[in-house]
Structure 1
Amino acid sequence: MSADENLQELFLLSQLLSDEEIFQNLPPEPSLPLQQPDQQRYVDYSALDQAEFIEQQQKQNTVRNTNTAVKQFEQWLKAMRPTENRPISDIPPVELDEYLASYFLGARQKDKSEYEPDTLTNYQRGIDRFLQDSGYGHSIIRDKEFEKSRKCLAAKRVSLKKQGKGNKPNAAERLTDEEIKILTEQGIIGSLTQCGQTTRRCLGFAADKKTDS
């Protein structure tokens, strides 16, 4: 090995040693404090809180649905029975039943299209809740004084379903007793024992719709 090569090797060794010493003498890096989770960012709901929240939302939905149902019926009364100025809770059952019967058959949306069957049923239930809360003393869903309006609603639901109305047209939807009675009177179905199930699919509506399409 030549003298120049020896000098070059010694120079490299001295550089390595000096770098190691530099790193060994460096001060330690300061350790960063651990970041604590921000508990104030979140809300902790207990099982009781969860139940109360659900109940509160359900009550709000019920109140909103009731108000909507009453508002729609009152708008119909104002347009179609302009001389009727009494609150609906003050209208005697005989007259209110007639109003409701006409309303369920003739109600339309703002664009003049038909309502969905379940929407009309929800309106009926909403009006009934309002009347019960007002101390009306009669139920438009259960009492015989409102049999005519219930039959009209049932017939209207049947008609709408024949037109393909409904959120799930291909689902097996259970018919109400009033709807079954209407279909039986029209001769569309025979006795229930011949069918075994009171569903839309069993009665053939789904099959008829597919055939027509």
Structure 2
Amino acid sequence: MEQESKNICRKTKSDLNIFQSYMKTKHNETSNIDEIPPQELDRFLDVERQTNGTMKYEPTSLKSIKQSISRYLKDSNYQCNIMTDDEFYKNRQTLSAKFKNLKSLGLGNKPNAADPITDDDINEFYSKNVMIATSPRSLINTIYINNNYHFGQRGVTEHYN
């Protein structure tokens, strides 16, 4: 991992901690990931369900966690690749099916994303004096809301640029 960026190393370490915690809590397994045979590791990779049966992670997050585990195993010279080898085919297919199912239901990628600003929202801002030239703060609010509304800018960096 010496050649990878700090962010990738931090993400890999964080994801490994999530996975190790899952293995310890759900399966009472404390072995290092790279010491587990592929057949057992395949069984452990199904981390997306909480005890109540609801999704704990987005499918894209699960894929990211599995990529981190794969990176770690590759660096540890593990005997299989969880992203490509046949031993983990069923697990990959299951994740893919769950991802497609959520997408068909309109869920999956950022289901809690903010709705765009409507004309009613703008009128409410004016009625509550959020967008009125009475103070420097309200002027900044007006610029920010107008940029969101007319140009579709969302993040602070987009506004700054």
Residue aligning to 1:72? 18
* Per-residue deviation, 1:74: 0.9
Of the three residues 108, 112, 117, the one matched with 1:165 is 108
8 Å CA contact 2:20, 2:30 repeated in 1: no
Q: Measure, in 1, the Cα distance between the counterparts of 2:35 and 2:16.
A: 14
The 1:160/1:67 distance shift into structure 2, 3 A limit, reads farther
Task: Report the secondary structure of 1:103's partner residue.
Answer: coil
The structure with more radius of gyration? 1
Q: How does 1:47-62 map to 2 (within 5 A)?
A: 59-62=5-8
**Counterpart-to-counterpart distance in 1, 2:92 and 2:60:** 14
TM-score computed with the length of structure 1 as normaliser: 0.45
In structure 2, how many angstroms separate the alpha carbons of the residues matched to 1:168 and 1:122?
A: 18
SS in 1 for 2:39: helix
Give the counterpart letter for 1:132 in structure 2: K
Call closer, same or farther: CA 1:132–1:155 in 2, change over 3 Å: same
Amino acid corresponding to residue 73 of structure 1 in structure 2:
F
1: CA distance, partners of 2:98 / 2:50? 10
One-letter identity of the residue aligned with 1:103 = V
Task: Quote the residue 2:140 is aligned against.
Answer: none
Structure 1 residues 186-201: aligned runs within 5 Å: none
CA deviations on 1:139-175 (whole Å, 9 max, x unpaired) are 1000001112112211222233225120389xxxxxx
Q: How many residues align?
A: 108
1:94: which partner in 2? 39
Identity of aligned residues (%): 34
Residues 163 and 76 of structure 1: is their aligned pair in 2 closer, same or farther, counting only changes over 3 Å?
Answer: farther
Deviation at 1:107, TM superposition (A): 5.4
List structure 1 segments (4+ residues) > 4 angstroms apart after TM superposition. none
Question: Residue in 1 aligned with 2:9?
Answer: 63
Give the Cα separation in 2 of the matches to 1:93 and 1:149.
Answer: 12
Q: Flag structure 2 segments of 5+ consecutive residues without an equivalent.
A: 113-161
| Runs of 5+ unmatched residues, structure 1 | 1-55, 170-213
Distance 1:107 1:70, change over 3 A: farther
Distance (whole Å) between structure 1 residues aligned to residue 78 and residue 101 of structure 2: 31
